Structure 1
Amino acid sequence: MATTQLATRSLFPNIAEFFNSFPAADLLRSNGHLIKVEEQVEDGKYVVRAELPGIDPDKDVNVTIRNGTLTINAKREQRESREGYSEFSYGEFTRSVTLPQGFVENEVKAGYRDGILTVTVPVAEAKDEGTEVKIETD
C-alpha cells in the first residue's frame, strides 16, 4: 500500500510574511525590496557588504555615489513561473548608506563573490580638527 504525503503550510504565517503585511514595513525598503547590508570601518576603509544572491553583477547591479551617499541598485528577474510557494524576491532592489567624512570617491572598489557584493571606500585620515575652546557664560 502506497502512502501519499501532502505538503502542508502552517496555520501561522512565516514571520517575514507577517511583518511584510504592515504598511510601515515599506519604510525599511526602497523600491519594494530591502537589500541586507553589513558595514564597518577597517584599516582606513569603509566596507559595505550587501547580500545579493542570484544576481548577475555585470548586468544587474549598479553602484553609485552622489552627495556623500552610496547607493546600490540591483534587479532579479523571475526566469520561470511555477505554481506554488516562494519566498524569493524578484524585481528591483535599492539600498543607500551615508558615507563617512573624508571618503575618497575616485578610489572606490566593488567586487561580487558568492552572492555578496562588497564595496570598499577608502577614508582619508582626519586632519587636525582644531582646538577646543571653552566658552564661559556670564
Structure 2
Amino acid sequence: MAGLTRRDRFELPEPMRRFIEGDWDVPAFRVEEYRDGDNMVVRAELPSVDPEKDLDVTVTEGSLRIHGERRESAEHKARTGYRSEFKYGSFTREIPLPPGAAQENVSASYNDGVLEVRVPLQPGGGQGRKVPVNRA
C-alpha cells in the first residue's frame, strides 16, 4: 500500500457547487431597510402571497419577524397532454430592531406584492405583539 497516493479532492465550479449543495447564505426573500423621518421602514418583496391568510408579522423585544407561506399552482391543458406545477413552502426572516424602536405602534401594509412595515423610532418598550397586515 506504500505506492498508493490519495487523490486530491475534486473542486466543482462555483455554479455547479451551488446547484448541488444549495446556497444557504441567500435569504428566503429580499428586504430593504431604511429610515424615513422618525420611522424605520422594512420593505419585503413577497409576490403571490395573500396577506390575510399567508403572512404573520410579529414584533418582540428587539426583533421584527416576518413569516409566511406561499401556495401557487398552475395547470396547462392541451390536446397533446397535461402539465401541473406547484410552488409552495414557508419562509421566515428575523430583522433586528434598533434601540428605541416603539414596538406597540408598528404598522404593516401590503400592496402589489410588497410588504411594508413601519416601526416608530422613539423610546418605548413592553411585550411583543402581532401586527395586522392591511391591504393598501
TM-score of Structure 1 vs Structure 2, range by shorter chain: 0.5 to 0.7
Deviation readout 1:54-92 (Å, 9 max, x if unpaired):
0000000000112311010111113346648x8x95211
Matched residue, 1:55:
49
**Which amino acid is the alignment partner of residue 38 of structure 1?**
E
Query: Aligned match of 1:75 in 61, 69, 74?
Result: 69
TM-score by length of 1: 0.64
Counterpart Cα distance in 1 of 2:87 and 2:101 = 32
Percent of aligned pairs with the same residue?
A: 37
Distance change (3 Å), C-alpha of 1:21 and 1:39: farther
Matched residue, 2:94:
96
Counterpart Cα distance in 2 of 1:71 and 1:54 = 19
Distance change (3 Å), C-alpha of 1:110 and 1:18: farther
**Aligned residue pair count:** 103
Matched residue, 1:121:
119
Matched residue, 2:32:
38
Counterpart Cα distance in 1 of 2:117 and 2:42 = 5
Is 2:48–2:72's contact at 8 Å kept on the other side of the alignment? no
Is 2:73–2:87's contact at 8 Å kept on the other side of the alignment? no
**Which amino acid is the alignment partner of residue 22 of structure 1?**
E
TM-score by length of 2: 0.65
Counterpart Cα distance in 2 of 1:21 and 1:27 = 14
Matched residue, 1:106:
104
Task: Give the secondary structure class of the aligned counterpart of 2:115.
Answer: strand
Distance change (3 Å), C-alpha of 1:75 and 1:101: same
When you count strand as a share of all residues, which structure comes out higher?
Answer: 2
Structure 1 alignment gaps of length 5 or more: 1-14, 126-138
Structure 1 residue ranges (4+ consecutive) displaced by more than 6 angstroms after TM superposition: none
Deviation at 1:96, TM superposition (A): 1.0
